[in-house]
Amino acid sequence: MDLIYEFLKIPQIPTFLHTIGIALLTILIPISIAMFSDKKEYITLDRNVILDEIFRSKLFLAVLGLIFLPIIFWHISEIEFKIIELILWILGTSLMIFILRNSYSWIKGDRYNFRVNYLSNLKNDKDLAESMRSVWQKGEMDTKSEIDFSKIFSLKIDQNIKINYKLTSELLKDFYNFMNYRSVVSLVVTEELFPKILKWHFEIWQKKYELSGKKDKLGERSNYSEISRILNNIFTNIEERSLKERMAYSFFEHFKKHAKDCKKVLLKDVNKQDYYRHYISSLFTIFCRVFFENIEKSPEKRDVWEYYFPKEWKITKNNLESKENIISKISLNEFLQWAQVRIWKMEEDFDSHLDDISRNLFPKVEPIIWAKILIFIFTGHGRNRVKSVVERPWNFGYYGRTRVYSGSGKEAEVEFKKMGREEILNTYKLSYALFKKSFSKRSLEIYIESLKKLQYSEDTEEEKKRKKLLKIFKELLKYVSQENNDFS
């Protein structure tokens, strides 16, 4: 202790401490200039990291105070206070050396950990929104960075989605505005984004649905609606890119799991039976519209229809009659609305897009007959309905279904014909189930009589169409008259 007292009595001690403090500050100034002048990958994020994570700007004045205030009061302090002042100086100097070490690491290029740590611990809403925006604005980045930033983004949304509408909305909106810069792998394959987007979509929809009809909660419901709208846009973008960029498998795996999970959550509660129906309807309405518009352009469309698109989501009479299968009914409604617009256009060119979806979404029907029925249903009636159908362009339904069967020779031929008859019967069953009014026995008899009265030259397209329709309606009338007896 005597040695310490003797050391503190040395007159040059304040000058020595002051010189070290000035030296450290002198070193820091050009380093600071270099750091702020350097071109930044993430402009706002890097600025905030330098100020808050490296320089600790809010504490920097305190650091300077710890270094220089003990020197100012040194000459008037008692020996006991000089010990305290020396300890404070050592603390301030240590913090300054820590800042210099971090500054050196930043200049040398070791910046990634600083960014991740800063974002992970950031609490200030304004700084968080600005920093995350600068991350998404950057453009392309390496896979590790994209995954790590996505984890932080997901964590921040999870923390704020039910308590801070403004911040959640801002974070999601910025992510959506720049999400085309993101790789489709980080969007769909990892667990950090697409599964979370679906989870948030469900949570927000629940809150919004619970508040519907409550006049005193209009403001809160409006906040949830805004977030829901952004999530819908993000979902749409992910679906489009998954179909176009060969990520359909991962998209459907996550999407199927989400649909099943929601069903488990909602259907186990008797009071939430309607929740499931309304939620799945709202979600699959978006899915179907995007899917119908983009599947034709997908390089994976054959695999999508054959392996990825669930069989229970396709449209068959059995699926439609299943009380638990809501999704198939939604698929039907969305397809009919989508197909109606395309059929109404009455374009001459072959509509391969409509043809492909019609054949694959209805896997049990005979595609050529089914196309004729859809054209008939969605053609404007006018004064003579059947005449309008005969004389308009038929722009899809030219190709039948590829059938796989076993055997050879006569046995194979019998099986082939049997499969064809089953498809035709399924077509008439589904047509009658969906369009009972249009295909009642009396209506069919009227169509047949009208077709018989129409007259065209033998080799014209109109005459060929007339004969095809006449055959279809006669067979359909036979099925309807027999009231679902076996059709042959």
Q: Answer yes or no: is pLDDT of 488 > 70.
A: no
Residues in the chain, total: 488
Q: What is the pLDDT of residues 105-138, one digit of tens each?
A: 888 777 888 999 999 999 999 999 999 999 999 8
The end-to-end CA distance of the chain, in Å, is 112
3-state percent helix, strand, coil for the chain, nearest multiple of 5: 75, 0, 25
Q: Answer yes or no: is pLDDT of 201 > 50.
A: yes
In angstroms, what CA-CA distances link 298 with 249, 256, 315? 12, 19, 21
CB 276 within 8 A of CB 326: yes
Q: Name the strand (E) or helix (H) holding 2.
A: helix 2-8
- Output the CA torsion 26→27→30→31 (10° steps): -150
Residues 6+ apart with CB under 8 A from 407: 415
Say how far apart CA 153 and CA 136 lie, in whole Å.
10
Amino acid identity of residue 332, one-letter, is L
Model pTM?
0.84
Where do the domains of the chain lie?
Answer: 2-114, 123-309, 357-481
Q: What's the pLDDT score for residue 216?
A: 65
Q: What's the pLDDT score for residue 54?
A: 86
More confident residue, 167 or 216: 167
More confident residue, 482 or 266: 482
More confident residue, 190 or 416: 190
More confident residue, 314 or 381: 314
More confident residue, 103 or 287: 287
Q: What's the pLDDT score for residue 408?
A: 65
> What whole-number percentage of the chain has pLDDT above 70?
91
Tell me, rounded to whole angstroms, the distance of Cα 353 from its chain centroid.
23
Kindly report the average pLDDT of the chain as a whole number.
87
Query: Can you tell me which residue has the tokens 């960075």?
Result: 145
Q: What's the pLDDT score for residue 214?
A: 72
Say how far apart CA 383 and CA 380 lie, in whole Å.
10
Helices vs strands, H then E, count in the chain: 23, 0
Q: Answer yes or no: is pLDDT of 188 > 80.
A: yes
Query: Can you tell me which residue has the tokens 């200049």?
Result: 107
The stretches of 268-325 forming alpha helices (DSSP H) are 273-294, 301-303, 317-321
In angstroms, what CA-CA distances link 180 with 8, 106, 299? 64, 29, 19
CB 171 within 8 A of CB 153: yes
Minimum mean pLDDT range among 166-170, 183-187, 378-382: 378-382
24, with CB counted inside 10 A (0-12, 13-18, 19+), is middle
Residues 6+ apart with CB under 8 A from 250: 188, 189, 194, 242
**Closest-CA residue to 473 (of 416, 406, 427, 411):** 427
CB 238 within 8 A of CB 187: yes
Say how far apart CA 144 and CA 369 lie, in whole Å.
52
Residue 9 DSSP class: T
- Residue 486 pLDDT level (bands cut at 50, 70, 90): very low
Say how far apart CA 203 and CA 301 lie, in whole Å.
31
> Which sign does the torsion angle of CA 459, 462, 468, 474 carry?
negative
- Residue 404 pLDDT level (bands cut at 50, 70, 90): low
pLDDT, mean of residues 295-303: 95
Minimum mean pLDDT range among 150-164, 294-308, 334-348: 334-348
In angstroms, what CA-CA distances link 156 with 196, 220, 299? 12, 20, 35
More confident residue, 313 or 82: 313
Q: What's the pLDDT score for residue 121?
A: 93
pLDDT, mean of residues 51-64: 82
Q: What's the pLDDT score for residue 318?
A: 94
CB 202 within 8 A of CB 278: no
Say how far apart CA 322 and CA 214 lie, in whole Å.
34
Say how far apart CA 454 and CA 275 lie, in whole Å.
52
Degrees (nearest 5) of the Cα angle 260, 325, 295? 75
